[in-house]
Amino acid sequence: MRLLGLDPGLGATGWGVIETQAGRLRHVGDGVVRTSPREPLALRLVRLAEGIEAVIARYGVAEAAVEETFVNRNAVSTLRLGQARGTALLVSARAGLSVSEYLPNLVKKAVVGSGHAAKDQVKMMVGVLLPGASLQSEDAADALAVAICHAHHRQTALRLARGLVGGGGAA
């Protein structure tokens, strides 16, 4: 199954596609959708939407995972990040994908083992977990980390569901 991870940003939205099969992960593709700060906000959001749509169509992904917004001191930056995130969520949902959201600390913990890991640690572990990934951009590496986090959480949820369906629940 192919999973899309998205690390939203108005200027640069990282994307990463992985394939999961029998508990193994494989890198499929990654990159960044960029917009120009010289363009109006509405056009930048259209460019993000078109870029994400192209990735979904090209790679035939089945599910998407989007990093949640963290609140920072700059309200304008937080608002713009939220608009980019909203675009990523909308495009993924309109494409018929199941969409999950993960906090940045949960993504870091799933990939590195620590919720407060540095960006370079995340990038290094993504490279270890997905041999062959070029990781030329931090945004793409972060998006692949979101996809890895989703793969792990998805697998755990499936195991729990099988256990409950198989009569493993309490009476």
Positions annotated as catalytic residues are: 7, 67, 139
Torsion angle, CA of 107/110/112/116, rounded to 10 degrees?
50
Integer Cα distance of 3 and 97 in angstroms = 10
Tell me the β-bridge partners of 27: 18
Distances 13 to 43, 55, 88 between C-alpha atoms, Å: 15, 12, 9
Helix or strand or coil: residue 25? strand
Long-range contacts of 92-96 (CB under 8 A, 24+ apart): 92/4, 92/6, 92/52, 92/56, 92/64, 92/66, 95/53, 95/56, 95/64
